[in-house]
Chains A and B, each alone.
Chain A
Amino acid sequence: MKAIELKKITKKFGNTYANNKIDFSVQQGEIHCLLGENGAGKSTLVKIIFGLYQKDSGEIKINDQIVKLKGPADAIARKVGMIHQHFMLVDSLTITENIIAGAEPSSKGFINYREAERKVRDLSEQYNLQVKVDSLVGEISVGEQQRVEILKALYRNAEILILDEPTAVLTPQETKELFNVLEQLKKSGKTIIFITHKLKETMQVADRVSVLRDGKKVGTVETSQTNPAELARMMVGREVLLKVNRTQNNPGEKVLEISNLNYKNKKSGLSLEDINFSIQAGEILGIAGVEGNGQLELEEVIAGLRSFQQGNIELNSKIINNFSVKERRKNGLAHIPSDRLKRGLIQNFNLANNLVLGSEWDSPYAYYSILNYNEINKFKDEIVKEFDLRYTKNNSIAGELSGGNQQKLIIGRELSRETNFILAAQPTRGVDVGAIEYIHKLLIEMRNNGKAILLISAELDELRSLSDHLLVIYEGKIVARGSTDKFTEEELGLLMAGHYQQGGENV
C-alpha cells in the first residue's frame, strides 16, 4: 500500500517554480529519503504534504485516498506528523505543554496536567525517547528538543512521519541514536520520509531515495541499487568535486592570538572558559563543535559584538580587548557572520548600499560624511564582476538575492577591504553546491595569499577539507586541538559530544 502518493504537484513562489509537476510516492512502512540541494524544493514539497503550503495544482493521496489539506490540522487528522528543520518549539513553555498544545487532555476547558504528563511519559518510554516532562524547552539540549519534536508527532498518533533535515544540528553520535529510533519506529509500522542533502546518511538509513533538483524530481532509486557518486550526480546534475585542493601551507607571522579568554553569557548561562589559541598568516584554523557550544559567543567576542570578562585578544600585535567594532575592522578584521540575514546585510538596501556598509565614513566613498555615490557604484560594479554576483533587476535589494549570492555579497564586501584576518563563521550555510565550491576555493586562495582565517563551521566535511588545524569546542571549552589529519571523523564526533579525557587536552 502507498502511504503517500503525489501526482504532478506544482507550487510557484512569485515567478519561480519551487515544485514543478512532481510525482512522488512512499510505500507504507519504508524509510524514504528525499534528497536534494538547498533550494531544490524538498521542504516546499513536504510542507505541502503537511498542509503548511497549498499546492497550486496536482493531487495528493494519503493511504490511497485523495485528500484536500487546508492546514496542518487536516494532515494531523490523517495521521501525518512532521519534525521541522527549525524546531517548532516554544522556549518558555514546558516539554509537556509543547507536546499537548492543540490536543490537550482537559475537562471543561481546563487542562489536566497530571494526565498530560502521564501520557507524555508513557510515550517517551514506549519509543525510548528520554525527556524530562516538566523542563522548560529553552533549558534543554538540542538533542532533547528533537526528541520532543518526535514525541509531538507520536502524541498525535502519527503513522507517517516527515523529518526535515533532522541531522543538521546533531553530532555523529546523536545522529546514530536518531537512526536507531527511526529503525524502531519503522519496525512498529510507521512510514518515514527523511529529508537531507547528505549522501552518507541517505545510504545509511533509507530504503529508497527520491532526488529533487531545481523543483523537479530527477528519479527514485532503491538504496541497495545505487552509490553515493550516482546520487551526487543526480542531485547536482554534473560531476561534483567533493574534495578541495589544499596544498601545504607556509605559515608566517602570528596574526591573531587569544589568551585566557573568559566570557559568560548572562542570558543563556553559557561560558567560554580559558580559550587559548593563535593563528598565523597563511593558516586556516577550524573550530569544530555541535552548534550552541559557544561558537556564536566566540565569534561575537572576537568581532567586538560582545564584551568579555577576562583575557586578551591580540590582533596584528595590538591588544584589541577594548577596541570598538570599527577599530577592530581598521586593524585588519574581516567578518563573515554566521547569521547572514540577521547581521550580515540589510535586506531592504540595494547592493551598493550593502557593499558600502561599514565603509560609509571612509574615503573614497565619503568626504566629511558626504557620500560619493559615483565611487560607491563603481565599487559595486567591481565586486559584482569579481565575485560573479547574480541579480535580476538593476536596482535589486539584497533580500531579493539567492542565498548564495547574498553570501557572495558579504564575502565580497569583507574581502575587498585591507585585512589580513578573516573571521568566517558558517560561510556556506544555506547556499547551493556551486556557491559552496566557489567559497571554498576562495578561502583557500586567501590562505595561500597569506591571510589568517578562523573558520567556524557546523559542517565537519568542510572543516576537515579546509582547515590546517582544528580545535574542538564543547560547552564553551576547547577540548582538543591538533593538525587536521590527526583526527578521524569518528574521534571528532566523540570529542564534539563531550567524550574526552578530563584534565588534559586530547591529541
Chain B
Amino acid sequence: MSEIIEVIFSINTFTAAIRMATPIAMAAIGGVFSERSGIINIGLEGMILTGAFAAVVGSFFTGSPWLGLLAAILAGSLLGLLFAFFTIKFKADHVVAGVGLNILALGITTWLMQVVWGQKGASPEVNGLPEITLPILNKIPILGDLLAFHSPIVYIMFVTVFLSWLLLFKTSLGLRIRMTGEHPEAADTLGINVYFMQYFSVTLSGALAGMGGAYLSLGQLSWFSSNMSAGRGYMALAANIFGQWNPIGAFAASFLFSFSDAVQMRLQGINLNLASELIQMIPYLLTVIVLAGAVVKSKPPAALGEHYEVGK
C-alpha cells in the first residue's frame, strides 16, 4: 500500500503528468477558443493527429524539429480553417462534421505515411525537439525538478495558458469572441464581424491542437505512429467543459486527466495484483465521472452549436 502511495505522490509522477498534460491542454485551450466563438469542436482529435504527422514530415525533410513544429502549426491551422469553412460557410452540423474530420485525418495521415515512407504503423525516426533546461529555476528544489527540464512545447503550453486567458478576458478581441459565442446576433448588430471571430477562433484552435500534436511526435517521441492521438482530442474537449471554457480551468482539468494517466502507467510498473486493463481504465473513467459531475453546474456559451447567418 505504501508503495502505491509513494508511486502516486512522487515527483516523477507529477513531472510525467505535466508532460502528458501538454498536448491535451494545448488542444483544450484550442477548444476553449472555438467554443467561446460558438463552434463545437469535436475535430480536435483530428487536428492533434494531423499536427503530429506534419511535425514529423517537417522534421524528416528539413532535418530541423523547429521547422517540424512550424509545419504542425500550419497543418493544424489549415485543418481548423477547413473545419471552420464547413461549419460556418456550409452550415454543417458541428458534431457530425467534427467526427467526419477526425476520420478524414486518421485516413490521410495513415495513408500519407505509407505514401511517403512506404511503412504502415510507424514512421522512421526523425530529429525530435531537444529538452531545454530553464536557468535559475533548475536550482530550486522540487519546483525545479517539476518545471525546469522539459521540451520547449511544455513551456510554450504554460505561456499559452496565460496569454489565452489575457486574450479572452482582457482584450477587445476576446470580448468580441465571447459575445459572438453567446449571442451572435447581438455581436452582429454592434458591427462586430461574427464570421471573422469564428474563423479566427477555429483556426487558432487548429494551430494550438496541431502544436499539441507536435509535442506527441517530436517532444515525447521522435516518430509518428498511426492514430497516435489516441482519444486525446476528446479528452481535451471534456477538459474544456470541466474547465468552464476558461484556459486556466482547461489546463487544470487536462492536468487532472494526465495525472491519473501517469499514475496508471506507473502502477503498471510495479507488480500489483491487478490486471493492467483495469488500471488503464482509470483516466477514461475519471473523464466520464468528471464530465457527469461538471456539466450539472456548467454553462456553455449560449449560442454553442448554432448557425448564424449574417445579412439575410
Q: Which residues of A contact B (CB under 8 A)?
A: 13, 50-54, 70-73, 76-77, 82, 84, 88-93, 97-98, 100-104, 106, 109-111, 152
Contacts and interface: CB of A to CB of B under 8 A. Distances in A.
Given A70-B311, A88-B183, A93-B182, A52 B175 contact: no
B2 interface: no
A133 to B, nearest CB: 15
Nearest to B191: A73
Given A90-B182, A101-B176, A152 B171 contact: no
A102 B187 contact: yes
27 contacts: A50-B189, A52-B189, A70-B311, A71-B188, A71-B191, A71-B311, A72-B188, A72-B189, A72-B191, A73-B191, A73-B193, A76-B191, A88-B185, A88-B189, A88-B190, A90-B178, A90-B183, A90-B302, A91-B182, A91-B302, A92-B299, A93-B182, A98-B186, A101-B192, A103-B191, A104-B172, A111-B175
Contacts of A92: 182, 299, 302
Interface string B49-71: 00000000000000000000000
Given A70-B311, A89-B183, A106 B189 contact: no
* Residue from the set B179, B189, B192 with the largest chain A CB neighbour count within 10 Å: B189
Contacts of B193: 73
A261 to B, nearest CB: 27
B171 A88 contact: no
A101 B187 contact: yes
B230 interface: no
Contacts of B176: 101-102
Contact of A101 (B175, B311, B312): B175
B288 interface: no
Interface string B15-31: 00000000000000000
B197 to A, nearest CB: 11
Contacts of A100: 175
Contact of B172 (A53, A89, A98, A111): A111
Interface of B: 170-173, 175-176, 178-179, 182-183, 185-193, 299, 302, 310-312
Contact of A82 (B187, B189, B311): B189
Contacts of B191: 71-73, 76-77, 102-103
A70 B310 CA distance: 10
B175 A103 contact: no
A70 B186 CA distance: 16
A481 to B, nearest CB: 37
Given A53-B311, A71-B191, A101-B192, A89 B170 contact: no
Given A97-B175, A101-B176, A89 B186 contact: yes
Nearest to A11: B312
Given A106-B171, A109-B173, A101 B179 contact: yes
Contacts of A54: 311-312
Contacts of A103: 190-191
Contacts of A82: 189
A157 to B, nearest CB: 13
* Residue from the set A50, A77, A102 with the largest chain B CB neighbour count within 10 Å: A102
A59 B257 CA distance: 59
* Residue from the set B179, B182, B185 with the largest chain A CB neighbour count within 10 Å: B179
Contact of B310 (A71, A77, A90, A93): A71
* Residue from the set B170, B178, B190, B192 with the largest chain A CB neighbour count within 10 Å: B190
B192 A110 contact: no
B190 A102 contact: yes
A335 to B, nearest CB: 27
A109 B175 contact: no
